[in-house]
Structure 1
Amino acid sequence: MEHSWTQLREVVSSVHRLKVDGFCITKATINHDAGCVNSRCSVEGHSWEVHFHPALYAKGHGYNPGLDLVFLGESRTGVTAILSAKVIDHTSYDDFVPFKDTKTVPRAFHRPMDRSQPIYIGLGFAGDDFKSHSLTMECTITVFREPEAQRGAIPVPSFDLPRHLGELLRSQAGADVTFAVSGESFSAHKTVLAAMSPVFMAEFFGEMTEKNSPLVEIQDMDAEVFKAMLYFIYTDAVPDELDEKPEAATTALAQHLLVAADRYGLDRLKVLCERRLSLAMDAGTVASTLALAEQHNCSRLKAKCIEFIT
């Protein structure tokens, strides 16, 4: 009998204990966003966050707490990883049934805020009374890496184009167009904008009047929204300060940013705004969010709104 053994990949696993105290899911709040707990760590030289959602999925009086893995780094070739988890303790939680070990499917992470598919860690049943719940989970992040022979090769620096483009936007070096927006001006680069947006491509390299103009006036948009959109075009990320604003202000900005993304053909930004609005949805915002979803053909966001209402 003959056989061969070839090592194709190695893995590095890091095990973390995540404890979440003081959350409550009732019949009255089961369809409301209960917030998200983030736990940050470093595995194989990359930064990650594990996000815990108390009621990631809900139907009727049943709900599933869940986790997902978020990549905080950058990699041109991609970093393949898996998140697995199991519940090791749950207190004051008689109406909760933990699942056995669950894990995500392997996926390659490339850009900041790339995330895995969610995993559900158990099934809970909402009651009428307020109960403070506590969950302790053992979370394992497994990162795949190349065998030792390949790791001994000359290292290749990580892909830093978004960071370099962000610096280009901040420095305004070589800028060839200025936008006037609600009394403020923003300098940018036509080629960068055109590469990301079909609308800017048509404006600057088609037959539109803006083609040779160094000054473009933007109507019907707040300066803050245009600034956030510019930042996304250059860096493929939304500004950090958006998460530092009060919830109501962040939701309003996400709504306006979705409109801007649809206007300029920025599909990824549009989906990011849809996700932000669906997670922050409450009784005070669902009507305006539903109207927005219908107006801008956001079928998934519309479905989330209808699910919240019913």
Structure 2
Amino acid sequence: MASTLETLTEVVHSSKQIKIRGFSVTSAMTEDDFFTSGRWKVGGYDWEVRVLPNKPIGGHNRNGVAVKLYCLSEVPTAKASGVKVNFSCLLIDPTGKLKPFEGDSSTYNFKRSGDCSYLHALMKRNDLQTSGYLKDDAFTVEYTLKLLREVPIKATTHRPADYLLPSSALPHHLGDLLQKGTGADVTFVVSGESFRAHKAILASRSLVFTAEFFGYMKEKRSPVVEVKDMRPAVFGAMLHFIYTDSAPELHRADDGTAMAQHLLVAADRYGIDRLKLICEDKLYDGVCVDTAAMTLVLAEQHGCSHLKTRCVEVIVANLEAVMTTEGYKHLMATCPSVMNDLLKAVHGRKN
């Protein structure tokens, strides 16, 4: 009789790179000063990597770069044995000419939030200064975390839903309802083009529509609502998102970015936060010298803090080039208040 194989564990593997600029200045840091990677989620737990660029490793003038791994999540009491992790680091040559320099490796059992695994010096400071891993007073560290995780034991029998339950077709059905207009109780007129919709569905997705149709606004009694200052294609795309939670127009190669700009304004106007965030994310990836200033106007006017920060970063890094664009002239004319943010960012970059 043939035997069966059952897998009890699996290894969750994740790697990241961080770059430390200003290595020469870090000589003034104390042995406990560090830079942090921020939260890093691996295997269902939050982790934080701290780089200590001036850690003593024994002897006079023998400081080096060391790394610590902290667990930031509470370990469930059911896991009395803790979370078993292997942590290792490499020094990376950004040019690719040198092979990665292998530092220390440590295996540790984390039992509670705040537990720490310490790796001894990746490299002595004096050695790093003369190595090829220090480029333009900066070095790059790649750290890898391998987490041992138990594989849940699978049931020997299957529930009916395992095979018979189809994926949700709700977005498709609602999209079909919007397209056919079945049972529609309100009509929007946008630049002469009509859109039939359902007040209850709109109100369930937008507090603005709730106020219009079920509050004390005049639209409550009107079956026809005129929408001003918006293109029909943009209003149609917003309605499609309300019904289906998708915006395929954002992925078009020819005008996806332009649609994202208009949809962000529409989403902000009607309080559709999820659509607004999706548009902000789409525009974030497209910020460059040519678009940074114009996008900053949009971010400032509609409260998109992450998008604004990205625009400021690009403008400060390419200030002379950005100042020649039409978008920069528009920025100065419509949002002169952002000049303070730009000046602060430029000053911080110089320091």
8 Å contact from structure 1 (residues 255, 273) kept in 2: yes
Deviation readout 1:67-94 (Å, 9 max, x if unpaired):
xxxxxxxxxxxxxxxxxxxxxxxxx843
Task: Work out the CA distance in 1 between the residues paired with 2:185 and 2:153.
Answer: 47
Q: Percent identity?
A: 50
Q: Which amino acid aligns with 1:245?
A: A
Q: Which amino acid aligns with 1:199?
A: V
Q: Choose from 212, 215, 224 the match for 1:215.
A: 224
Q: Which amino acid aligns with 2:294?
A: S
- How many residue pairs were aligned? 207
8 Å contact from structure 2 (residues 250, 257) kept in 1: no
Deviation readout 1:31-66 (Å, 9 max, x if unpaired):
xxxxxxxxxxxxxxxxxxxxxxxxx999979xxxxx
Deviation at 1:207, TM superposition (A): 1.1
Task: Work out the CA distance in 1 between the residues paired with 2:201 and 2:226.
Answer: 18
Match of 2:190 in 1: 181
What are the within-5 Å matches in structure 2 for residues 229-308 of structure 1? 229-239=238-248, 241-246=249-254, 249-308=255-314
Deviation at 1:151, TM superposition (A): 6.0
Match of 2:174 in 1: 165
Deviation at 1:149, TM superposition (A): 2.5
Task: Work out the CA distance in 1 between the residues paired with 2:226 and 2:261.
Answer: 22
Determine helix, strand or coil for the equivalent of 1:220.
Answer: coil
Q: Which amino acid aligns with 2:173?
A: H
Deviation readout 1:88-120 (Å, 9 max, x if unpaired):
xxxx843896999xxxxxxxxxxxxxxxxxxxx
Task: Work out the CA distance in 1 between the residues paired with 2:167 and 2:9.
Answer: 20
TM-score, structure 1 as length reference: 0.54
Task: Work out the CA distance in 1 between the residues paired with 2:310 and 2:226.
Answer: 35
Deviation at 1:285, TM superposition (A): 1.2
Task: Work out the CA distance in 1 between the residues paired with 2:18 and 2:226.
Answer: 44
8 Å contact from structure 1 (residues 95, 125) kept in 2: no
Segments of structure 1 that go 5 or more residues without pairing to the other structure are 1-8, 14-55, 62-91, 101-123, 128-143
Task: Work out the CA distance in 2 between the residues paired with 1:222 and 1:154.
Answer: 48
Deviation at 1:157, TM superposition (A): 3.4
What do you get for the CA RMSD once the two structures are aligned? 4.6
Distance 1:215 1:97, change over 3 A: farther
Distance 1:291 1:238, change over 3 A: same
8 Å contact from structure 2 (residues 293, 315) kept in 1: no
Distance 1:125 1:263, change over 3 A: farther
Distance 1:180 1:146, change over 3 A: farther
Q: Choose from 206, 210, 226 the match for 1:201.
A: 210
Task: Work out the CA distance in 2 between the residues paired with 1:126 and 1:229.
Answer: 48
Task: Work out the CA distance in 2 between the residues paired with 1:159 and 1:208.
Answer: 35
Match of 2:234 in 1: 225
Structure ranking higher on relative contact order (CA contacts 8 Å, 6+ apart): 1
Task: Work out the CA distance in 2 between the residues paired with 1:158 and 1:299.
Answer: 36
Q: When you count helix as a share of all residues, which structure comes out higher?
A: 2
8 Å contact from structure 2 (residues 280, 307) kept in 1: yes
Deviation at 1:171, TM superposition (A): 1.9
TM-score, structure 2 as length reference: 0.48
Distance 1:171 1:306, change over 3 A: same
Larger radius of gyration: 2
What are the within-5 Å matches in structure 2 for residues 21-60 of structure 1? none
Task: Work out the CA distance in 2 between the residues paired with 1:97 and 1:166.
Answer: 52
Task: Work out the CA distance in 2 between the residues paired with 1:245 and 1:230.
Answer: 21
Distance 1:95 1:287, change over 3 A: farther
Q: 4+ residue stretches of structure 1 with deviation over 2 A?
A: 9-13, 56-61, 92-100, 124-127, 144-151, 156-160
Q: Choose from 83, 94, 97 the match for 1:94.
A: 97
Deviation at 1:177, TM superposition (A): 1.0
Residues 1:149 and 2:163 are matched in the alignment: no
Q: When you count strand as a share of all residues, which structure comes out higher?
A: 1
Segments of structure 2 that go 5 or more residues without pairing to the other structure are 1-6, 12-16, 23-94, 104-132, 137-149, 317-351
Distance 1:161 1:307, change over 3 A: same
